[in-house]
């Protein structure tokens, strides 16, 4: 496993060089994404392809099942890498899940604001929290700087449509309605937006929206995949 410097000049991203540094780092001064760039050893494609035959949608993979797979030495090294990340996170009281993803449910009738994971959004929590993620194989999620997006509920046209759906005034009740349906967590990229892929193998820790957060939440989305695309291996915590 080698460290290398991840090419980004985005002032909202801080590069770290170890798991420990990532755990200890704080979201401050506008930084809402921490990245530990890594080139992981092992054949992740072999693992994903082996599993891709069995799963559909989002399938959580458990440690024993991964260890029981019959794989080449390179496939086994990939499994070891993923298990190591899971272990490190568990040791720090996280509850990571390793998922095999062949597709996500789509918002079939999105109305004025689509609220599925393909739409740029912020994760949210009632108390201090963060999201950890690493894509080991397949298309990777992407983030976009906060200055390059607009909350969908702040677009006058969208807001008017939502207000119609709500059937009332633009008051506290409406704000609650937006929050209850997660409409207020979704963002539209501006014309000059330059989303950045999280990339393969890199571990990310991103800020979520919570009441006393001192930084804006990291805006991100799942990649748009089509049937037949390689399955994804994604750690999320």
What is the DSSP annotation of 101-146?
ES-----SS-TTS--STTS-B--B-SSS-EEEEEEEESS--EEE-G
Residue nearest to Fe ion (CB): 123
Number of residues that bind Fe ion (CB under 5 A): 1
Please identify, among the stretches 20-28, 39-47, 123-131, 225-233, the one whose residues bind Fe ion according to the rule CB under 5 A. Answer: 123-131
Would you count residue 130 as binding Fe ion (CB under 5 A)? no
What is the closest distance, in whole angstroms, from the C-beta atom of residue 185 to Fe ion in the complex? 9
Please identify, among the stretches 14-22, 98-106, 121-129, 201-209, the one whose residues bind Fe ion according to the rule CB under 5 A. Answer: 121-129
Would you count residue 123 as binding Fe ion (CB under 5 A)? yes
User: Token pair of 114, please?
Assistant: 């689509």
User: Token pair of 181, please?
Assistant: 């349906």
Binding mask 74-113 for Fe ion (x = CB under 5 A): ----------------------------------------
What is the closest distance, in whole angstroms, from the C-beta atom of residue 225 to Fe ion in the complex? 16
Q: Is 182 exposed, middle or buried (0-12, 13-18, 19+ CB in 10 A)?
A: middle
User: Token pair of 88, please?
Assistant: 């490190």
Please say which residue, 142 or 161, places its beta carbon nearer to Fe ion.
142
Given CA atoms 86, 119, 6, 74 in this order, what sign does their dihedral have?
positive
What is the closest distance, in whole angstroms, from the C-beta atom of residue 193 to Fe ion in the complex? 17
| Bridge partners (DSSP) listed for residue 200 | 135
Contacting positions for Fe ion (CB under 5 A): 123
């Amino acid at each position: 496993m080698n460290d290398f410097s991840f090419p980004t000049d985005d002032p909202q991203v801080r590069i770290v060089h170890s798991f420990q540094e990532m755990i200890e780092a704080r979201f401050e001064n506008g930084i809402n994404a921490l990245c530990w760039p890594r080139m992981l050893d092992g054949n992740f494609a072999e693992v994903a392809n082996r599993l891709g035959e069995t799963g559909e949608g989002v399938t959580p993979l458990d440690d024993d099942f991964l260890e029981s797979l019959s794989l080449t030495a390179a496939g086994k090294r990939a499994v070891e890498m993923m298990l190591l990340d899971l272990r490190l996170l568990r040791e720090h009281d996280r509850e990571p899940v390793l998922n095999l993803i062949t597709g996500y449910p789509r918002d079939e009738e999105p109305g004025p604001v689509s609220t599925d994971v393909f739409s740029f959004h912020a994760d949210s929590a009632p108390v201090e929290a963060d999201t950890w993620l690493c894509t080991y194989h397949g298309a990777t999620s992407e983030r976009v700087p906060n200055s390059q997006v607009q909350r969908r509920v702040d677009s006058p046209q969208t807001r008017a449509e939502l207000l119609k759906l709500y059937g009332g005034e633009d008051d506290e009740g409406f704000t609650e309605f937006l929050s209850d349906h997660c409409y207020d967590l979704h963002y539209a990229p501006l014309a000059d937006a330059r989303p950045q892929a999280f990339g393969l193998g890199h571990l990310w820790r991103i800020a979520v929206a919570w009441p006393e957060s001192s930084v804006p939440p990291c805006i991100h989305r799942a990649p748009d995949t089509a049937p037949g695309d390689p399955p994804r291996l994604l750690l999320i915590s």
